[in-house]
Amino acid sequence: MARSSGRVEGKAAIVTGAGSTPGDGIGTGKASAVVLAREGASVLLVDLYPERAELTLKMIEEEGGKAKVFAADVTQADQCEAMVAAAVENFGTVDILVNNIGLASLGTVVDLSEEAWDRALNVNLRTVFLASKYAVPVMAAQGSGSIVNISSISALRGDGTIAYSAAKGAMLAMTVDMAYSHGRQGIRVNAIAPGHITTPMVNSVSGQDPRADFRTQLRNEAGLLGTPGTGWDVGWAVAFLASDEARWITGITMPVDSGVLSITPLSMAQYLRAIPE
């Protein structure tokens, strides 16, 4: 078993999108699930593609952790209801819900199609609504719970992803509203805004770009620390917010971004190189 502080010892967790797009590196959901298991939680690994979640399960079991795969399309209400029921059946309750599913969607308000808008809102936002809808009553009944919504710095900064940004921004509004509505039931709701981390999903999108290596380098160097971020950086933040160590923290958005939200492009110009043709 990897080193653990028992941060979430004995807790039952659901991580949506707990698989990872195939490729080098690790996604935020997969890393969150592994860290939560390492820190003592039992984790329901929910993914549309169960074969992806099986790889997460393998990693967790190799470390001596406890988890179970649950195949579901989290855009569907009945499957979300079944997902929560499976957590209760297998682990006794739901203490932690990590709303992690996300789908990149490039395009401006002018060039994005209506279908792409609907798809992005469905996958990025509806999943948060539906998973929470069924998990919150279980948490409320026991008088405690922690929900962590994986948003993005795209919610707060322009980058030409109108539907993705709209969905991720709405997640921040939902975070505050859910924290308000369920605080007195002992439920904390927080969001994480990852910055330019490199995950297999990012590589699969940017890999088609002939300047992919340069873009990766730029992503790595864009923050104040000038070093690359990974899914693990998000995973550790999730474990903290999910744990009782964060017992008095609710309604916040925590950037995990190497300080990108603390700077202006101009202030960073001295550190960055021009994008080659």
Task: Pick the stretch among 69-77, 173-181, 205-213, 264-272 that binds ligand NAD (CB under 6 A).
Answer: 69-77
Please check whether residue 162 is in contact with residue 106, taking contact to mean a CB–CB distance below 8 angstroms: no
- Fill in the DSSP letter of residue 142: H
Q: Is 49 helix (H, G, I), strand (E, B) or coil?
A: coil
Does position 59 bind ligand NAD by CB under 6 A? no
Question: CA-to-CA distance for 199 and 203, rounded, in angstroms?
Answer: 6
Cβ 266 to ligand NAD shortest distance, Å:
23
> In what order do the strands lie in the sheet containing 96-99?
66-71, 42-47, 12-16, 96-99, 145-150, 187-194, 253-256
Site for ligand NAD contains 145 (CB under 6 A): no
Under the binding rule (CB under 6 A), the answer on residue 123 touching ligand NAD is yes
Q: State the minimum distance, in angstroms, from the CB of residue 246 to ligand NAD.
A: 19
To ligand NAD, the closest distance from the beta carbon of 114 in angstroms equals 19
49 near ligand NAD (CB under 6 A): yes
d(CA 251, CA 52): 31
| Among residues 40, 65, 145, 231, the one that binds ligand NAD under rule CB under 6 A | 231
Cβ(136)–Cβ(183) below 8 Å: no
Q: State how far the alpha carbon of 90 is from the alpha carbons of 14, 39, 83, 93, 154, in Å.
A: 11, 18, 11, 8, 36
- Find out whether 97 and 13 touch, Cβ atoms under 8 Å: yes
Q: Shortest Cβ distance from residue 184 to ligand NAD (Å)?
A: 28
Q: Which of 19, 65, 223, 235 binds ligand NAD (CB under 6 A)?
A: 19
Among 7, 38, 52, 188, binds ligand NAD (CB under 6 A): 52
Among 36, 150, 191, 237, binds ligand NAD (CB under 6 A): 150
* 74 interacts with ligand NAD by CB under 6 A: yes
Biggest alpha carbon–alpha carbon distance for the chain: 58
Structure tokens at 63: 């470390």
Catalytic residue among 49, 134, 164, 271: 164
Number of residues that bind ligand NAD (CB under 6 A): 31
- Write down the least CB distance from residue 207 to ligand NAD, Å: 13
Closest residue to ligand NAD in the complex (CB): 102
| SS3 state at 183 | helix
Q: Which stretch binds ligand NAD (CB under 6 A): 33-41, 48-56, 128-136, 235-243?
A: 48-56
The Cα–Cα gap between 185 and 142 comes to 8
Does residue 164 carry a catalytic annotation?
Answer: yes
Phi (first) and psi of residue 95, to 5 degrees: -100, -30
Beta-bridge mates of residue 70: 46
Residue 12's SS3 state is: strand
Per-residue contact string for residues 82-121; x = within reach of ligand NAD by CB under 6 A: ------------------xxx-------------------
- Counting contacts by CB under 6 A, is residue 25 touching ligand NAD? no
Contact residues toward ligand NAD (CB under 6 A) are 16-17, 19-21, 27-29, 47-49, 52, 72-75, 100-102, 123, 127, 150, 152, 194, 196-197, 199-202, 231
Q: Catalytic residue numbers?
A: 164
